[in-house]
Structures are given as C-alpha cells and as structure tokens.
C-alpha cells in the first residue's frame, strides 16, 4: 500500500540562511546499445544541470538531450528541459521528440498472438508541455497542481503488410494528430530528484484530446503514478512503483496504454500488449558496489484489458531483470544505466540516463 500522505513536506525548508554556491554542469556521452524496439543503435546524449536560486534545498533544474540512429534505420532526437522556480514551488517542463520508427503492432488486448507481419513504419513529432504551481486551496497541502498540453503528430509512412494497419480496421491506422489539454496533481517529497533514497512521488493526470484543440481523435488519457523510496543503507535503496494508465473514447492504437519499454515492464517490446487499461507494479533494489559503480535487481507484474471489469490474475505478465549503474555526475547523483529484462520472448537490453523510475 502507498504510504499515507502527511501534512508536512519532508523537503527541507528553504530559508535565507540556507545559501550555497551551485555550479552549472554540462556532461555528455556517446553510447551504443541494443533494445527490442531499436535493435543495435548508436547515439550521443548529454545533460545540463543548473540552479535558479542559491538556497541549499533547491532542486536542480536540467536540460537533457539525446539522439540515436539504429540498424533498423530508425532515428530519434529528444530534448527534455525541467526547471524549478520559486524555491521548488513552481515547475516548468517539456518533452520534445522527433523520429522515424520501425514499430510493431500485434493487435489490441491481452495475450494476442504473434502474426506474420507485425512491422510498420512511422514518423512522429511529440510535445508535452507542463506547468505546475502551488495549490489554490489549503487542504491540498504542499503538493503542486498544474496544466499540461500534449501533442502527437503521427504519420504512418509504410504499412509493411501489417494486417491491422493496411486493413484500416483499427482507429489510427492512417495516423493523425492528437492534441489535448489536461490537469496534473503532484506530491513530490523525494530527498533527491535524480537518485531518491527516501520519500514519495505521486502523480495523477488527465488529458482530453478533442477537436476543439485541433485533434483528429476524441479520447481521454488518465495516469496514476505512485512511487515510494526506502533507504536500506548507505546508497542502498528499495524503490516501489504502482502505475495505471487508462484510455477512454476513440484512442488511436499507437496511443493506447501499453506494456514494455525501458521504464515499465522491461523485458517486453513496448506495445507487445496494449489496451484501454494498463495496471503495472514493479520493485527495484539499488546498491553500490564500489567507486562510481552500482547494480540493481528488479521485478514486475502487469496486465492490459479492454476495461476494468475484465481484469484477471490469469492475464498477469511477469518481468524480471537486473542492471549496472555508473555514477555519471557525482555531485547531482545522475546515473547512466544498462539493464537487461526478461519477459515474453527475447530479453530486452536497455541503456539510458537516470533511473527507470
């Protein structure tokens, strides 16, 4: 069960006497990796960390960027700025990406079978913009509330014989524009942004895509993300996450809640199972092994269903794996991660900056 929210924020109070000198840091790295989604990929990335104030307990802001090209002739470029203002009371963030993807679609629902031609190709531009502020009513405590805008322009350029895409039998088989506005509510009481050892991060959001905002599809997307962090010893952490994603209305198949990828249920191709409802849980133990290096072990359970009434223990899918960590930025505790996850089918290998959750 998630920990009960207390009325007191565990983040140290920011006072005029808590002043320190903070430096802007720029870190960059090349990488080579393999995932089920991209196969062998070559790329480069980096992160800039900086502070908008000198108060000691202020959280670091960042701008992360990356780009890769894979042997499947895929490519993706992304930029993720996140800025803390007003002594952690205001957060401005974005997730901007553009890429060409050779993706797979096996159909919708739990336990869908393999098909002969699951590939298709698409170009996509995505933008998520969020602004979070202190709540306007006292009973909401020290949480943040905000607004979010989502845009996804998805262009399917080749159906590659996929029977669902070429047959025009599912919503979104011709691509389209999703554009929506939503609300976000966040409780963030982690002791650190990049490598929390104690605290909670709870987020609830709802986004409504509608023709009023220029969308080609009318549907809602809702997410509940509950994370707890427990310190087991010096640098040793147990992280637990409960995650739910839900869609209503006429959601295109490529924007349905889906299992897999580098953050939720590592070891499954992202989208191997997808439907209107996704429920997932995972736990990860993180501990140092010397110098800048550390290791993790993780396990998870998840399922997708067309509705809440169809949820069943018989459709739960397991995930298990482990990984290596390298402390890329010691001062801000930013890790490079390499994970291997085992689920259905071939194992997945994942490379990234920062922890999975």
8, part of any domain? no
Q: What are phi and psi of 20, to 5 degrees?
A: -145, 165
16, part of any domain? no
13, part of any domain? no
Full-prediction pTM beyond 0.85?
A: no
The per-residue pLDDT for 7 is 33
70, part of any domain? yes
DSSP classification of residue 12: P
Q: Are 332 and 314 in contact (CB under 8 A)?
A: no
pLDDT digits (tens, 9 = 90+) for 95-153: 999 999 999 999 999 989 888 899 999 999 999 999 998 876 555 566 889 999 999 99
pLDDT digits (tens, 9 = 90+) for 173-197: 999 999 999 999 999 999 988 999 9
Which pairs count as long-range contacts for 22-29, CB under 8 Å and 24+ apart, including other chains?
22/50, 22/51, 22/54, 22/58, 22/60, 23/331, 24/48, 24/49, 24/50, 24/51, 25/49, 25/50, 25/329, 25/331, 25/332, 27/328, 27/329, 27/334, 29/328, 29/336
98, part of any domain? yes
Q: What are phi and psi of 255, to 5 degrees?
A: -120, 15
Tracing tokens 């505790």 back to the chain, one arrives at 333
162, part of any domain? yes
335, part of any domain? yes
The per-residue pLDDT for 355 is 93
Number of domains the chain contains? 1
164, part of any domain? yes
Residue 39 sits in which domain range? 26-353
Q: What is the CATH number of the domain that holds 60?
A: 2.40.160.50
More confident residue, 6 or 221: 221
The per-residue pLDDT for 18 is 39
């Amino acid at each position: 069960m998630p920990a009960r929210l207390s009325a007191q924020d565990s983040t140290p109070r920011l006072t005029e006497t808590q002043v320190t000198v903070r430096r802007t840091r720029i870190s960059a790295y090349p990488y080579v990796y393999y995932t089920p989604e991209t196969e062998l990929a070559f790329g480069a990335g980096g992160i800039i960390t900086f502070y908008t104030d000198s108060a000691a307990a202020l959280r670091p802001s960042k701008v992360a960027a990356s780009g890769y090209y894979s042997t499947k002739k895929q490519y993706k470029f992304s930029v993720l700025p996140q800025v803390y203002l007003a002594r952690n009371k205001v957060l401005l963030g974005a997730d901007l990406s553009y890429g060409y993807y050779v993706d797979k679609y096996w159909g919708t629902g739990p336990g869908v079978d393999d098909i002969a031609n699951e590939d298709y190709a698409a170009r996509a531009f995505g933008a998520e913009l969020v602004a979070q502020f202190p709540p306007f009513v006292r009973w909401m405590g020290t949480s943040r509330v905000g607004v979010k805008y989502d845009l996804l322009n998805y262009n399917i350029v080749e159906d590659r014989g996929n029977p669902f895409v070429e047959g025009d039998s599912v919503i979104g088989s011709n691509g389209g524009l999703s554009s929506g506005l939503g609300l976000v509510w966040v409780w963030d009481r982690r002791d650190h942004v990049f490598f929390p050892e104690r605290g909670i991060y709870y987020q609830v959001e709802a986004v409504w895509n509608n023709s009023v905002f220029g969308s080609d599809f009318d549907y809602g997307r809702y997410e509940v993300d509950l994370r707890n962090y427990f310190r087991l010893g010096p640098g040793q952490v147990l992280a637990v996450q409960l995650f739910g994603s839900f869609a209503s209305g006429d959601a295109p198949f490529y924007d349905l809640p889906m299992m897999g990828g580098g953050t939720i249920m590592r070891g499954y191709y992202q989208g191997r199972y997808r439907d209107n409802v996704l429920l997932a849980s995972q736990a990860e133990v993180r501990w140092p092994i010397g110098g800048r290096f550390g290791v993790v072990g993780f396990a998870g359970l998840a399922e997708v269903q067309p509705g809440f009434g169809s949820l069943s223990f018989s459709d739960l899918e397991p995930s298990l794996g482990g990984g290596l960590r390298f402390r890329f930025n010691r001062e801000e505790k930013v890790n490079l991660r390499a994970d291997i996850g085992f689920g259905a089918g071939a194992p997945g290998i994942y490379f990234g900056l920062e922890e999975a959750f």
